[in-house]
Structure 1
Amino acid sequence: MAPRLLAKALDTALDRTVVPGFSKIGYAVRRHLPTWPADPAPGVLDGKHVVVTGATSGLGEATAYQLSRLGAHVHLVVRNAEKAARIAATLPGPSTTWVCDLGDLDSVRECAAALLADGPPLDAIVHNAGAMPATRTESPQGHELSMSIHVLGPVLLTDLLLPKLAGREARVVLVTSGGMYAQALPVEDPDYERGEYAPPTAYARSKRTQVELLPVLGERWAPADIAVYVMHPGWAATPGVTESLPTFDKLMGPILRDADQGADTTTWLVGAQPRPRGGGLWMDRAERPTAYFGRNGATSDERQRMWQWVADAAGVTP
């Protein structure tokens, strides 16, 4: 027991000090602790079908490759079919490409209809697609684009695909960001219509929304036997970080995780047996606090109000 207690204490210390825990230092230390869970078994996803959104670069590309290596048939849900073809050629297993813009709810509905008509039963969805617009940008439906891509699109796509997911002990993973710790749930201004627009703030607000809606989504999709997770990849070197946060990338570059390290916990959540308990925020194969010292955490009433807005905006029954 003593080594495991010490390992948990070290893990917690890494988490609370942020920089070591979120960087490749934390990943390297944790994977050598006795509390590190075993890797998914080779071939554990043979015959399984997994959707990965935003699979043409960064964490999405790494996730698609890792899942394919475990035997999954990976369904690449992407905006650019040509980029998807390049990724598909590198995967060790079969894949199918579906064109979809997660920020456009009409495109989401079209993609879901195609998957329902022609796709197989699904065992998992990884919502990895992301964006950080340099200026306030609206989706075709008039919503702030970060919120549309990170929250509205994933909720709608999952809801529409429930017939393909139900009864299969399916798993849904939303990829979040550590930036959400710095923001509260934007209940009063979900579309960021007030004040001066700041891209990192918009991004973090949408990611906080993902985290705070976990209890609601978990309850909503539980009758279909779906476990829902939010996964924090730590600080990873991806094209999105380089393009959107060049100063952060330059300062933290030497200690940023690579894409494979950032995607590790997503792959583990999809492949681990037995299925991990749903409903948590995960990083480095362990559940993490959704807020530190109560800062920026949401109340149950705030979650319900935010969910009502999301349901109305996405066009689903709340």
Structure 2
Amino acid sequence: MPLPRLLDAVLDRLVVPGYSKMGYAVRRAGFRALPAGCLDGRTIIVTGAGGGLGAATVRGLVALGARVEMVVRDRARGEQTRDAVRDEHPGAAVDVAVCDVSSLADVRRYAAEVRDREPALHGLVHNAGVMPPQRTETAEGHELALATHVLGPFLLTRELRPVLRAGATPTSPSRVVLVSSGGMYTASLPTDDPEFRTGTYSGGAAYARTKRMQVVLAELLADDLAGDGIVVHSMHPGWADTPGVAGSMPGFHRVTGPLLRTEEQGADTIVWLQAAAEPGHSTGVFWHDRAPRPTHYLPRAAETPQARAALWTLCVDATS
């Protein structure tokens, strides 16, 4: 039985119960099981798939019959994860591809390879993430978190547009999912200094800013791709116990350890967004635990049309 909306909203606004494993446990009672084989015949790409939420997403997708391409920076690590997935799911169709999502040149190379060999693509999950300890620029001169979370996903989505379009049908759209973070609630859309060139740099602040940008970008891409039978959603996984959290936020991990979700619990909504019927009937929505969530808790905090247009222009200009 689904959780009453008021109780669900209270859990969400209180953060600790809603984002932790407690919130997942309470809400899970109302989840409908995804049908076995519901992703048969669908090809899905997952970035940042070498471990953590990405690897859990791969496991969830192949369990439902999808063919999955794991995009990683470290081939050895990716192949180790792939072999573990195949051991867990004998016969799983899962492959490894190498691409550094923060490198626009590498994204173009990889996307061209995909277009050459894949007649159709049915899903794309942007999961690759970083939290730089100090400000770092890519070879192309972009701040690393911005390049990884925003510019790379924007470019990869647009470069793969032809094969995503080919994978869409009138009753089954292709699906793009951006894995954001609840931390985006603490940040506004940075329009004056998106590259974080001024002020005191903080990896946590850069992470939150770019995760906010992802949520807005999902809405913008949803409008841009609507005519091609492609839906775009963003989501946040709650607080999950991943190597990235342990390495980037050791203090947070130490304090919240008993409350953290498993990787599978964190990845549940990502898999659901690729597999369930409901998110195929909408686009540009922000999700958590299989339910739409507000992108702002205060209406006056919403981005202006000018700020949204500035983000789109930034992405287009940086990737042209």
Q: TM-score band (shorter)?
A: over 0.9
Deviation readout 1:276-315 (Å, 9 max, x if unpaired): 4111100000000101123643112110111111111122
- Which TM-score applies when normalising by structure 1? 0.94
Write the distance in 1 (CA, Å) between the matches of 2:163 and 2:24: 34
Calculate the aligned-residue CA RMSD, in Å: 1.3
1:262 to 259, 262, 266: 266
Matched with 2:250 is 246
What amino acid sits opposite 2:113 in the alignment? A
* Cα distance in 1, alignment partners of residues 302 and 138 from structure 2: 27
* Structure 2 CA distance for partners of 1:313 and 1:233, relative to 1, 3 Å: same
Q: What secondary structure, in the 3-state scheme, does the structure 1 residue paired with 2:231 have?
A: strand
- What is aligned with 2:19? 22
Residue of structure 2 in register with 1:294 after alignment: 299
- Code of the residue aligned with 2:35 in structure 1: it is A
The 2-side partners of 1:140 and 1:285 are apart by 38
Which residue of structure 1 aligns with residue 190 of structure 2? Answer: 186
- The residue aligned with 2:41 is 47
Hey, what does 2:125 align to over in structure 1? 126
Report the Cα distance in structure 1 between the residues aligned to 2:217 and 2:72, rounded to whole angstroms.
24
Pick closer, same or farther for the CA change 1:314–1:39 going to 2, 3 Å: farther
Which of 283, 287, 290 is residue 285 of structure 1 equivalent to?
Answer: 290
Tell me the residue number matched to 2:207. 203
Separation of aligned partners in 2, 1:265 and 1:246: 25
Cα displacement (A) at 1:97: 1.6
Corresponding residue of 2:95 = 96
2:219–2:233 Cα contact (<8 Å) kept: no
Uncovered stretches (5+) of structure 1, i.e. residues with no partner: none
Does the Cα contact within 8 Å between 1:122 and 1:164 map onto a contact in 2? Answer: yes
Paired residue type of 1:117:
D
Name structure 2 gaps, 5 residues minimum: none
Match for residue 176 of structure 1? 180
Aligned residues, how many? 309
The residue identity in structure 1 corresponding to 2:284 is G
* Equivalent in the alignment of 1:303: 308
Question: Contact between 1:144 and 1:191, CA under 8 Å: does it hold in 2?
Answer: yes
Aligned to 2:319: 314
| Distance (whole Å) between structure 1 residues aligned to residue 257 and residue 120 of structure 2 | 40
Query: What TM-score comes out, normalization by structure 2 length?
Result: 0.94
* Secondary structure, aligned partner of 1:243: helix
Which residue of the partner structure matches residue 107 of structure 2? Answer: 108
Percentage identity across paired residues of the two chains? 46
- Contact residue 178 and residue 218 of structure 2 kept, 8 A: no
Q: Which amino acid aligns with 1:261?
A: Q
